[in-house]
């Protein structure tokens, strides 16, 4: 990678982290709004990868916007609304599948909507900043660790047919840095042990999400899911690791209610 490309990529990455941190700190309507915007852009990119026309893409976005609207802080005043919203998200996916007869497009509704519900739910908890920061930053740490370990060590490829640049060394480096970050969160911010110990598994899931999105792009015959982020491609390219992590992280948050 050229130094100019690396500089642009780094600048955009820093800007994204700043926006995410500000939204996380503000919480409430600000955090929800940022999540909704990202989710709708992700849905558009998913639809483009699925090869649908603009009209169908917009219809899928409108269907997704209904459960997203119900995730607004003013709507989620009682716990049962989380389950109702989850059901509505599934209903939106079924609607898209029936109308378009494209189950892959319907899967995108779940793919783009479920992480938002998980993140909004975590942020609303008493320790929401800690929980949500952990879920977001473990993915960032995994990406950073994988990038530098992969470049420094190299070695056998992880899955060359899907993503020729990813290595086993990168996977191990990403898991290691994410786990170290979680331990720091545990020591200084009281991150519960169940989350700290689950972090290596979630880091592997983040890498799996990255590989899955690489497969989607390879199937569609494109390099990036979009071009909205200079040096990074699309929003899907940046949030692919968070998609599988956020719902599992939210489950770990709610777990003590089932097993106190």
pLDDT of residue 5: 61
Q: Which of 94-98, 146-150, 207-211, 256-260 has the lowest mean pLDDT?
A: 256-260
- Residues in contact with 75: Cβ distance below 8 Å, sequence separation at least 6, in sequence order: 69, 81, 85
Instruction: Give the mean pLDDT of the chain.
Output: 90
Residue 76 belongs to domain spanning: 3-258
* Domain total of the chain: 1
Q: Which of 75-79, 97-101, 205-209, 256-260 has the lowest mean pLDDT?
A: 75-79
Q: Are strands 163-167 and 157-159 parallel, antiparallel or unpaired?
A: antiparallel
pLDDT at 1 over 60: no
At 39-82, the pLDDT tens digits run: 999 999 999 999 999 999 999 999 999 999 988 876 544 554 67
């Amino acid at each position: 990678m050229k130094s100019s490309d690396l500089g642009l990529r780094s600048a955009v990455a820093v800007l994204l982290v700043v926006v995410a941190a500000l939204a996380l700190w503000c919480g409430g309507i600000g955090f929800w709004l940022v999540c909704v915007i990202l989710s709708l852009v992700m849905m558009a990119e998913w639809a483009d990868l699925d090869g649908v026309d603009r009209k169908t893409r917009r219809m899928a976005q409108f269907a997704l916007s209904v459960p997203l609207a119900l995730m607004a802080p003013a709507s989620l005043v009682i716990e049962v609304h989380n389950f109702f919203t989850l059901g509505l998200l599934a209903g939106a996916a079924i609607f898209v599948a029936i109308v378009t007869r494209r189950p892959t497009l319907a899967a995108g509704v779940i793919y783009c909507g479920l992480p938002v519900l998980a993140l909004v739910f975590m942020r609303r908890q008493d320790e929401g900043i800690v929980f949500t920061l952990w879920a977001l930053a473990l993915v960032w740490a995994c990406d950073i660790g994988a990038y530098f370990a992969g470049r420094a060590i190299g070695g056998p490829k992880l899955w060359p047919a899907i993503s020729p640049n990813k290595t086993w060394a990168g996977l191990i480096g990403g898991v290691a840095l994410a786990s170290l970050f979680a331990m720091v969160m545990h020591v200084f911010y009281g991150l519960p042990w169940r989350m700290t110990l689950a972090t290596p598994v979630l880091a592997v899931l983040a890498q799996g999400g990255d590989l899955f999105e690489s497969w989607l792009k390879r199937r569609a015959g494109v390099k990036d899911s979009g071009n909205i982020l200079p040096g990074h491609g699309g929003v899907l390219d940046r949030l692919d690791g968070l998609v599988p992590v956020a719902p599992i992280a939210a489950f770990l948050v709610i777990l003590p209610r089932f097993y106190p």
